[in-house]
Amino acid sequence: MSNNLPTILVCDDSLLVRKQMKDCLKECGEFNILEASNGQAGVEAVRLNKPDLVFLDIVMPDKNGIDALNEMKAVKNDIKVVMLSSSGTKTHLKAAMDAGASDFIQKPWEKSQIEHIVKNIR
Amino acid sequence: MFSQYFGHYLLNKGLVKPEQLADALEYQRSVHLKLGVIAINAGLMTPAQVEQIHNLQKQVDKRFGELAIEKGYINEDQLNTMLNTQKQGHLMLGQALIDRNYFTMEQLKTALENYKKESGMSNRQFNVIVNNDTQEIEKIFLGFGENQMSKAYSDYTTLLIKNIIRFIDDNPTIEINKSKDDVKVSWYARQEILGRLNFNTGIACETDVFVKLASKFAGEELSEPDELAQASVGEFLNLHNGIFLVNMSNNDIELELHPQEVLRDFSLRKSNSQYVISCHLNWGRFDVILG
């Protein structure tokens, strides 16, 4: 990105979630916000734009969030990825942490949770 | 939580005038639910017996429950159950209608009986679902001959009621039936749950309800079944299923979800292992398909 703002990628197959997340991020500060609607598109967005932070859903078509997380880490090892999912089962939680996720937020999220994560970005 | 739906029923049947319903709905906020109304609703006493106890209370300084036991109309266990009855919306409205002299006890009894009958629910099923009782909901599935999945389905249904109240509308009326016929629906959001328990879930409804449901969940007014509305209904199903998976995971049952999808003009084939959980709101009805 040409400006100096942090870049955040929101990767979720739901248009509603992406919209609500973008609205929430705009209330939390100034960011470049990117969107991806499936895991594969999310990995491509990381490859192209090297975002500072990714909010990543788990249950998605065309590559689930755990597989996408592994590939994102391979592209940019220090990338900060926060899983944002309705299905925070023990299996998903463990898989996400094993793959290097920095946090896990169970949907529906509270604005304060997002604020807390984005305030120390970079 | 059922007051608005029961209110609409009374209005549609011409049993109350709009201004009477508005007055009673306002008044019910401060209403004190009396044991007589609970006893009539539970089928434990007749209106005449309730009136008799009320008249006796004018002569002797005793409580309603005490006198009803003395007269042999109820026993102590039944009294305790009545005392534990939560503030049920439809009963609060019933009490308000009586207190405001729009209904007699007899009229309320008849209206309640017809309301339950026309909702397609037995007395027991109605009270169980109002009280959100997981074990009793399981008995409903067992009653349909569902042995393998009854516990999971009752957990699913109990959580569904909570999530409808949490995210959509605080006045749902729920009925559970086996799928009986092939049905064509305008919209069908579906998602498969996989793992040790394997079943399909879906939300079926017509366009007007689809848009309203989408608006309620999105928290904004949507006017057509566009991509955002489809995403909203799909995400409500996905969120509910995700929370169900977390609850199951806490009980050491690990499950997975397929991504949800939303389909237009879908034909639902009847299946003996499929259930229809009809969710009646005062703005329409949608069906949750399970099985």
Nearest to B246 among A14, A16, A87 (CB): A87
* Mean pLDDT, chain B, whole residue set: 86
Helix/strand/coil (H/E/C) assignment for every residue in chain B: CCHHHHHHHHHHCCCCCHHHHHHHHHHHHHCCCCHHHHHHHCCCCCHHHHHHHHHHHHHCCCCHHHHHHHCCCCCHHHHHHHHHCCCCHHHHHHHHHHHCCCCCHHHHHHHHHHHHHHCCCCHHHHHHHHCCCHHHHHHHHHHCCCCCCHHHHHHHHHHHHHHHHHHCCCCCEEEEEECCCCEEEEEEEEEEEEECCCEEEEEEECHHHHHHHHHHHHCCCCCCCCHHHHHHHHHHHHHHHHHHHHHHHHCCCCEEECCCEEEEEEEECCCCCCEEEEEEECCEEEEEEEC
The answer to whether residue B145 scores a pLDDT higher than 90 is no
Q: Model's pTM, two decimal places?
A: 0.72
The answer to whether residue B1 scores a pLDDT higher than 50 is no
Mean pLDDT by 10 residues, chain A (122 residues): 88 97 96 97 97 97 96 95 92 91 90 90 71
At residue B122, the pLDDT reads 57
At residue B119, the pLDDT reads 62
In this predicted model, which residue has the larger pLDDT, B255 or B25? B255
Contact B242 A88 (CB under 8 A): yes
The CA distance from A116 to the nearest CA of chain B, in Å, is: 23
The CA distance from B249 to the nearest CA of chain A, in Å, is: 5
At residue B175, the pLDDT reads 81
At residue B197, the pLDDT reads 92
At residue B128, the pLDDT reads 55
At residue A100, the pLDDT reads 92
At residue B74 the predicted structure's pLDDT band, cuts being 50, 70 and 90, is very high
The answer to whether residue B86 scores a pLDDT higher than 60 is no
In this predicted model, which residue has the larger pLDDT, B231 or B148? B231
In this predicted model, which residue has the larger pLDDT, A58 or B281? A58
ipTM entry:
0.93
The answer to whether residue B219 scores a pLDDT higher than 70 is yes
- Which residues in chain B are contacts of A35 at CB distance < 8 A? none
Q: Which of B25-39, B85-99, B201-215, B224-238 has the lowest mean pLDDT?
A: B85-99
